[in-house]
Amino acid sequence: MNLKATIGMETHVELDTKSKMFCSCEVVETDEPNISVCPTCLGLPGALPVPNKTAIEYIVMLSLGANCNITNEGMFHRKNYFYPDLPKNYQISQFDFPVGVNGFLEIVLDEELHSVEIERVHMEEDTGKSVHIGSGRIDSATSTLLDFNRSGIPLVEVVTKPVISTSKMAVAYIEELRQLVIDLGISKGKLEKGNLRFDANISVANEDSNELGTKVEIKNMNSLKSLEKAIDYEIMRQSKQIEKGESVIQETRHWDENKQVTISMRTKEGSADYRYFSDPDLPNMIIDEEFINNSKKNIQNLPLDKRKTLKESGLSLSDSNYLDKGDKWLYDLYLSTVENTKDSKSTFNFLTGELQGQMRKAEIDELPDWVDSEKISNLINLFETNEVSFTSAKDILAKLLGEDIDPKSYATDNNLIQSSDDEEIKTLVTSVINENQDIVERLEDPEDKLVGFLVGQVMKSSVNKVNPGSVKDILLKELFG
């Protein structure tokens, strides 16, 4: 039996506004509990909600960025369920008329573009935070502590259609969405801070079937790694069950990071009837052309546009995708560097391999201000034209990250310029051949590993100032004619 998986993603994006969604409490990042709360976000009797204009602008931007149609007359609904960290025991959300509908995001997998259809983009408010204390195990808590600083922070929920088929695709989708909200400037987009929180709806069915299998919702995946693993695990679990002829139960499951399995969550009976109804505290919301156009003005350089620019510079789709998901400064540095190097692939490799690697090792997040695209492109050009070896280039880069040097003068002053003088190399090669007659006799063909050893010996005798490519050429000519 050939089985296929179908995945739909529901993602909550925390917006980066100054104040909360329905009250003027400041959005704060603090461990001090209940310091940014008011009658509205604490659900005190008599308090009322008034929506944040910037949050609505942001959700319109996100909807446009995700190629959605905007609902011109929308409304807020109350979603009713009892939970201690939900102050009013209803969440203000949207039901029939979400702000954005029927969009898509383009994602890159290897060298291919895929479109992930977006069903809806709607506005809602966050809940408070629960901390379960007791024995340290979540299933034997003795009490729950509640902090409402997070309560009422604007959230946008982005829901895809069930069109994702693998965990890799789900991860690529989240990465694309994350980059979109960062480039729009509407969310900090930090997964580790919970700025993006995602649930996956997974079903497995026979490949030939037109119908989806039973839907299982997976919650509590806090990183892309756990998203990937949870989906893979869940597809495997459901597949095994189907192969055994058992039916999959429709339920919500929790990803257990320690055990690396999904676990069934015991849910309260009947809790699924949310009794949505239009919030009588909030009249209908009109999002007219003017509002949409004003929001549009703030949209520039989305991941999609960045990929296009990168591809035009000569990069492959996957390299473009890598760079558009990276830091803004790296993207900018690449584009200005490649102007001078004219070699997109080696520029990409040097920036993403060497530069980022060394920065990581040196634990610096930002490029020192004396390092600019001119110096970097000069450095790349130095080893691309064989003036310095790649090893030397790495050393120069390390130096450059520590102090303001000119790569070319530094190479000259420190004797790192490679000789490509064939006569000089020939002399060195001849003496190495003479000194290693035993090895030369054992050589069978130009592919022999020992050729490398001999090249190494020449390099050593030159104190690394000659170009290894030239050495190999001359050595092979001497040995094999």
Partner 1 sequence: MKPSELFEQVYETASYTESVLHAHLELFYDEGLKLSKESDKRYTKNESLGLLDGIPIAIKDNINIYGYKTTCSSKMLSNYVSPYDATVVTSLKKAGTIFTGKTNLDEFAMGSSTENSAYGPTKNPWNPDFVPGGSSGGSAAVVSAGSAVASLGSDTGGSIRQPASFCGVVGFKPTYGTVSRYGLIAFASSLDQIGPITNTVDDTRIIFNEIQGYDSKDATSITPEYTKLENKKVKVGILKELMQEGVSNESQNEVNKVVNLLKEKGHDVTEISLPLTEMALSVYYLIAPAECSANLSRFDGVRYGIREDASTSYEMMNKTRSVGFGEEVKKRILLGTYALSAGYFDEYYGRALKVRSKIITDFKTAFDKVDFILSPTTPTPAFGFGEKTKNPLEMYLSDLCTIPANLAGLPAISIPTGLSENNLPLSVQIMGKPCSDYSLIDFAESIEEMVEFNFSPNLLKENNES
Partner 2 sequence: MSENFNIDDISNLASIELSEDEKAKLQKDLQIILEHVDALKNIDVKDQKIDIHPLSKVLELRKDESKESLKHEDAMMNSPETKDGHFVVPPSIE
Q: Which residues are near Zn ion by CB under 5 A? A: 23, 25, 38, 40-41
Euclidean distance between CA atoms 366 and 77, whole angstroms = 44
Q: Kindly tell me which residue out of 48, 69, 106, 134 binds partner 2, with binding defined by CB under 8 A.
A: 134
Euclidean distance between CA atoms 450 and 443, whole angstroms = 7
Bridge partners of 290, per DSSP, are none
The strand order across the sheet containing 77-80 reads: 90-93, 77-80, 277-278
Q: Kindly tell me which residue out of 28, 35, 73, 84 binds partner 1, with binding defined by CB under 8 A.
A: 84
Identify which of 298, 284, 279 has the alpha carbon closest to the alpha carbon of residue 60.
298
Residue 448 engages partner 2 in binding (rule: CB under 8 A): no
Q: How far is the CB of 96 from partner 2 (least distance, A)?
A: 11
CB contact set of 38 (below 8 Å; sequence gap of 6+): 23, 24, 25, 47
For residues 386 to 425, the per-residue mask of contacts with partner 2, x marking binding by CB under 8 A and - elsewhere, is ----------------------------------------
Torsion of CA 377, 366, 197, 66, to 10 degrees: -40
C-alpha distance across the termini of the chain, in Å: 61
Which region among 116-124, 184-192, 243-251, 272-280 touches partner 2 (by CB under 8 A)?
Answer: 272-280
Cβ contact 164:7 at 8 Å: yes
Q: How far is the CB of 298 from partner 1 (least distance, A)?
A: 25
Q: Provide the pairing of β-strand 251-256 with 216-221.
A: parallel
Element (H, E) at 56: helix 53-65
Residue 259 engages partner 2 in binding (rule: CB under 8 A): no
Grouping H, G, I as helix, E, B as strand and the rest as coil, residue 378 is helix
Identify which of 201, 208, 200, 203 has the alpha carbon closest to the alpha carbon of residue 239.
203
88 binds, among partner 1, Mg ion, Zn ion, none (CB under 5 to 8 A by kind): partner 1
CB contact set of 35 (below 8 Å; sequence gap of 6+): 28, 149
Q: How far is the CB of 89 from partner 1 (least distance, A)?
A: 4
For residues 247 to 286, the per-residue mask of contacts with partner 1, x marking binding by CB under 8 A and - elsewhere, is ---------------------x----x-x-x--xxxx---
Euclidean distance between CA atoms 76 and 284, whole angstroms = 7
157 binds, among Mg ion, partner 2, partner 1, none (CB under 5 to 8 A by kind): Mg ion
Euclidean distance between CA atoms 117 and 114, whole angstroms = 10
Q: How far is the CB of 214 from partner 1 (least distance, A)?
A: 20
CA Rg, the chain, in Å?
A: 30
Structure tokens belonging to residue 243: 């192969």
Q: How far is the CB of 199 from partner 2 (least distance, A)?
A: 18
Q: Kindly tell me which residue out of 26, 73, 89, 223 binds partner 1, with binding defined by CB under 8 A.
A: 89
Beta strands in 72-167 (DSSP E): 73-74, 77-80, 90-93, 100-109, 112-125, 129-134, 141-147, 154-160
Q: Kindly tell me which residue out of 157, 234, 319, 384 binds Mg ion, with binding defined by CB under 5 A.
A: 157
Q: Kindly tell me which residue out of 2, 142, 258, 409 binds partner 2, with binding defined by CB under 8 A.
A: 142
For residues 7 to 36, the per-residue mask of contacts with partner 2, x marking binding by CB under 8 A and - elsewhere, is ----------xxx----xxxx----xxxxx
The nearer residue to partner 1, 48 or 450, going by C-beta atoms, is 48
The nearer residue to Zn ion, 119 or 126, going by C-beta atoms, is 126
Residues counted in the chain: 481
Q: Kindly tell me which residue out of 148, 173, 233, 350 binds partner 2, with binding defined by CB under 8 A.
A: 148
The nearer residue to partner 1, 93 or 389, going by C-beta atoms, is 93
Q: How far is the CB of 241 from partner 1 (least distance, A)?
A: 29
Q: How far is the CB of 15 from partner 1 (least distance, A)?
A: 19
Identify which of 76, 174, 70 has the alpha carbon closest to the alpha carbon of residue 124.
76
Q: Provide the pairing of β-strand 3-14 with 154-160.
A: antiparallel
Residue 293 engages partner 2 in binding (rule: CB under 8 A): no
Euclidean distance between CA atoms 450 and 201, whole angstroms = 57
Structure tokens belonging to residue 176: 């694309």
The nearer residue to partner 1, 96 or 111, going by C-beta atoms, is 96
Block residue for tokens 């029939």 = 96
For residues 328 to 367, the per-residue mask of contacts with partner 1, x marking binding by CB under 8 A and - elsewhere, is ----------------------------------------
The nearer residue to Mg ion, 4 or 219, going by C-beta atoms, is 219
The nearer residue to partner 1, 11 or 93, going by C-beta atoms, is 93
Alpha helix positions (H), 144-299: 167-184, 224-243, 289-296
Which region among 43-51, 117-125, 243-251, 376-384 touches partner 1 (by CB under 8 A)?
Answer: 43-51
Structure tokens belonging to residue 418: 């490679």
Q: How far is the CB of 275 from partner 1 (least distance, A)?
A: 4
Residues that bind partner 2 (CB under 8 A): 17-19, 24-27, 32-39, 42, 50-56, 80, 82-85, 89, 130-132, 134, 138-139, 141-148, 266, 268-270, 273, 275, 278, 280, 282-286
Residues that bind partner 1 (CB under 8 A): 39, 42-51, 78, 80, 82-84, 87-90, 144, 146, 268, 273, 275, 277, 280-283
Residues that bind Mg ion (CB under 5 A): 157
